[in-house]
Structure formats: C-alpha cells, structure tokens
Structure 1
Amino acid sequence: MDELITQLYPLPSSERQLKGLYLSHNLRQYSHVSKKPFVYANFIVSLDGRIAVPHEDGNGQAVPTSIANERDWRLFQELATQSDLLISSGRYLRDWAAGRAQEILRVDDPRFSDLKGWRLDHNLPPQPDIAIISSSLEFPIPEVLTKSRRKVIVFTTNNPDLERVKEIEATAGKVFVAGDSSVSGEKMVQQMHELGYHTIYSAAGPKILHLLLKGGVLDRLYLTQTNRLLGGQPFSSIVEGDLFDAPIGVNLHTLYFDSHGLDGLGQLFMSYNLANQPIPKSEMNPQ
C-alpha cells in the first residue's frame, strides 16, 4: 500500500499516498453545507464495463475476482468509513445468509485499524446503520447486523405484507413505504434525512444506483476502472433500469492513476459530481 499514485486531475499533477486518499475528500462536511444528506456510490469495473460475473455455483453474480484488488478495497473502506448509513439490498442479506457476502465496513480487520480509530475520533459508532431496499421483504436479518444497537432500516413499496413488517420491526428496526411499484429514491432519502442521517453510502448494485439517479438524489459517483477486459454474458454495468427521460450529466471531480494495481497493469480511480448537485468551491481541489 506504500506505492504512490498519480493525481491527474485536478491539475497540477502530483504524487499522492493511496492510504487516506478518499478520507481526504472529507465527505462528512457536505451535508452541513447543503443542509441535506450527501449521497454517494461506488463501483469497480473492468475495462469493458463489467461490474459482475456469475457466481461459480450459478447463484447470482459477484464482483469478478480478476479485477477485485486490495488497493481498490482500501478506498472502498475509506468511503464506507465516512458514512452514517449504508444502502444495501435484500439480495445482500440473502447472500450473507448463504455465506457469499461479508460485512461491508471491515473495522475489525487489522488492515483497517486506522479507520476504526477515524470513526472514534469523529464520535461515530464502530459501524454505520444499514438501509435495505426490498419490495418483497423476503430476506433474513443476520444477528451480527443488530448487535451493539445498530439499526436496520427497510424501505419498501405500497401494501407490504403486514405480518412480515411486524416480524422485521420486532427484530431489527423500522419499515418505511417509499414508493408505489418501486422505491422512490427521492422519498427514501427524504425519510433518511428526517431520521437524522447526513452521509449516505450506496454499496448496492446497478438497480439501486438507477433509482438514486432517477430520483435526483445522488451527489457523487466513485468509479475504479481496471485495465482488464473480461467479455462474457450476461453483461452487468453500473446502471440497470429504464432509459432515463434525459441523459444525466456528471462533472469530473478527481482522477488518479494507480500504476501498481493489478500486478502492474494499473487502474484509474475516478470520482464524478452529479451536474445538478452543487459542491462547495472549497472542495473542488481535494488535497
């Protein structure tokens, strides 16, 4: 992790430490400036745009092991560390129950002991709360999620199974209706705001990114592009859903080249601000 990366944008170009790179973006300040939650998402993609390939056991899809790497994982953890609330899905909990998923923020991993300290220094609990988006409400809630008074908040659609709602609320937290046939990103984030969450990180998949974009509530997209081509079917990209009514514009915020990633093949670490979301001028050139 000691090898330097190159900042390509904003100019002037400079060499930067990987460790602490995304912590330096200081995401927690944004909601205090804008008086609304700051919502951000993150993906790692192959050069041909793939974020997932089928599991070896044929059940669902997962991040390709050929592009997953420790240097990107470090930055993923730095993004999760800064959040009050993590957005995930019922699929994530089902995968966890099946042994195909893990805790999103790994503060108990010795490699990330500094991130645990970072949260303590900022008067944050060891783990952020977790928000689950699910229309069916068909998912287990692992006990590990609810220990230490951690909250699980569920967002679903109209006319949910009331018995299932009672079961979830007796076990974990609160269920909120935030849409008719699908969850509305706008209604969901407004409810998160009313619950007191300021910094919200989507660690979920392309369908949830779609609803955040459609609702106009995503503020920043982080993207790692790896220098490997995968091919194959099915094709899964960062956004999946209906065609947007109008293309969604983004502005490049930061661009870094990691020449040491993927055994020297390299990768780009990029971040984009949504064009309709103002960012304080003081943060346009993170150091």
Structure 2
Amino acid sequence: MTEPRIDRLRSSTAPVSDDDILDLYTVADRSSAWLRVNFISSVDGAATSSGLSGDLGTAADRRVFDLLRRLCDVVIVGAGTVRAEGYGPMRLDEEAVDWRRSHGLTAQPVFAIVSSSLDLDPASPIFTDAPVRPIVVTVDAAPAARRAELADVADVLIAGSNAVDPMSMRRQLAERGLHQMHCEGGPRFFADLIRDNAVDELCLTISSVLEGPGAPRIVSGQAFDARRAFYVAHVLTAEDTLLLRYLRNESPLR
C-alpha cells in the first residue's frame, strides 16, 4: 500500500495582506448559492470559553472574521447565538463599505436571524438601528402575533412548518439575490445545516488553548447518521492560531 504523503506546514516569507486573505476566501461564481459556516474551536474541541465563542477569539481570528463579512451578501445567525453573544446591528466599518462598493457589492450585507419561536424583540437595535432591513427566517408554526410585529421591522421568510428547513432558506435567500451566505452559528443550527447537506464551506479557527470537559462542540443536538466529506482548501497561521478553510468534496471549486 502506498504511504500517504505528509508535509510540514511552513510559513511564507512574507505575511499575507487583507487583499491576499480576501482573495483566498473569494468564491469565483457569486451568482450561485454558496453557504459558508464560520466557527472557532479550542484545541480540545470546545466551541466556547466561559459560555461564549468570542472568549476563544484571537486577533487573527477577528481579522479574518471581519474580512469574511465583507465578502458575503447575507450574514445568517441563529437567534440563540444572537442573544448569547450579544449581537448588535450588523454594520461594517467605512473601510469595508468602500471595499464592497469598489467590488460591485452593496454597502452592507443583510443580517438574517433564524428563529422558529420568534423569541425576538422588535424594538431591539438589531432591527431599529440596522443599516439594511434585516431578515427573520422562521416557520409556519411561529406565533402569528409576533410574526406580524417583526414584519414591521424585518422581512419575514417562512422556511418550514415546525422547524426551519435549511434548503428552503437557501433557496429563498438566493431568490432575493443573496447568493453568498455566511453563517456564524450556532451549534444547533449548524447541525441542521449538516443534516440537510446545506454546507458548502467551513471556516474553522483553532485557538491554542485547552478548555477541558463540559463545553459544547461547534455542532450539537440529537445524533443523526451523517458523514460529509470535505477537503482542506488552505491553512493560515498567525502565531499560535490556525485558520482552516474546508470545502465540500463535490464543490465546483475543486
């Protein structure tokens, strides 16, 4: 049997610029639906530190996190993660806005919040201070009164009967011209995306800490039979941080 090739990871002679990073993560065909998921994990697989993913973050992770938002048409986040991580209005800085405009994109990406229960406050700054009208992705079974309240401050998409259907969500967002989808969690929603084979790409930062037992993984929920093959598109390093990009094996980029 042929031995698998193993190579050492070597640093380049010069650090990569923001433009280099943007090029590395750019999807060539922006006209087709593409769903990227972004997470951070400790070395031993924890998705949070002290209950928050942000507490695992490093300066390099934040830099790439911000650059990935430049590239997308819509940022998708589960409502539980919005509450836990203290999300505010989705607003990029002036440099990012200028970059997007110079590349033919809208000034700001759309913020899409996924919630089956609609446990969201219509008076929250997420809605009232948003630079672009947000989207709420929900289900037929969601409370009608709350759906009507949120419809005053956001576009409400119905994607499923009792649980959000990721493929229906993808289709409806793409129909709005929001083809480049960037999902920032949380773990339960990631499980739904995996189950329905809705993930094209995973960007995973490995933070060089050990958190020990008890913390959740980047995916959680009821077990199901799923095995999805991905390959490593690139690996970036920044001191002790690894920044990994995985693409689905049947990806047209390969």
Same fold (TM over 0.5): yes
Whether 1:196 aligns to 2:183 is no
Q: Partner letter of residue 79 of structure 2?
A: G
- Contact persistence 1:185–1:214 (CA under 8 A): no
- Find the residue that maps to 1:119 and give its secondary structure: helix
- Write the deviation string for residues 126-155 of structure 1: whole angstroms up to 9, x where unpaired: 321111111110112433545566122122
Offset at residue 236 of structure 1 (A): 0.9
* 1:154 has 2:124 as partner: no
Q: What does residue 50 of structure 1 align with?
A: 46
- The correspondence for 1:168, drawn from 143, 150, 156, is 150
Q: Which amino acid aligns with 1:87?
A: I
Q: How does 1:248-263 map to 2 (within 5 A)?
A: 248-259=228-239
Instruction: Indicate conservation of the 8 Å contact 1:133/1:155, yes or no.
Output: yes
Scaled by the length of structure 1, the TM-score of the pair is 0.76
Counterpart in 1 of 2:241?
267
**Structure 1 counterpart of 2:41, which letter?**
V
Distance in 2 between the 1:115 and 1:149 partners? 14
Aligned to 1:263: none
Q: CA deviation at 1:25?
A: 2.4
Cα contact 2:232–2:247 (8 A) shared by 1: yes
C-alpha distance in structure 1 between counterparts of 2:251 and 2:59, whole Å: 31
In structure 1, distance between residues paired with 2:95 and 2:121? 31
Contact in 1 for aligned 2:231/2:247 (Cα 8 Å):
yes
Partner of 2:68: 79
Q: 1:18 to 1:145 in 2, by over 3 A?
A: farther
The Cα shift of 1:221 comes to 0.4
Give the equivalent residue in structure 1 for 2:34.
38
1:121 maps to which residue? 102
The 1:225/1:184 distance shift into structure 2, 3 A limit, reads same
d(CA) in 2 for partners of 1:29, 1:179: 30
CA RMSD of aligned residues (A): 2.7
Q: Give the partner amino acid of 2:211.
A: L
Q: What amino acid sits opposite 2:52 in the alignment?
A: A
Q: What residue ranges of structure 1 are gaps of 5+ in the alignment?
A: 1-7, 55-60, 260-265, 282-287
Q: Aligned pair count?
A: 247
Report the equivalent of 1:101.
Answer: 87
The answer to whether the 8 Å contact 1:23/1:78 transfers is: yes
Partners in 1 of 2:84 and 2:89 — Cα distance?
11
Structure 1 range deviating more: 235-244 or 41-50: 235-244
Match for residue 3 of structure 2?
Answer: none
SS of 1:24's partner is: helix
Distance 1:215 1:44, change over 3 A: same
C-alpha deviation, 1:199, in angstroms? 0.6
1:69 pairs with 16, 39, 58, which one? Answer: 58
Does the aligned pair in 1 maintain the 2:112–2:134 contact within 8 Å? yes
Q: 1:145 to 1:18 in 2, by over 3 A?
A: farther
Letter in 1 for 2:87: A
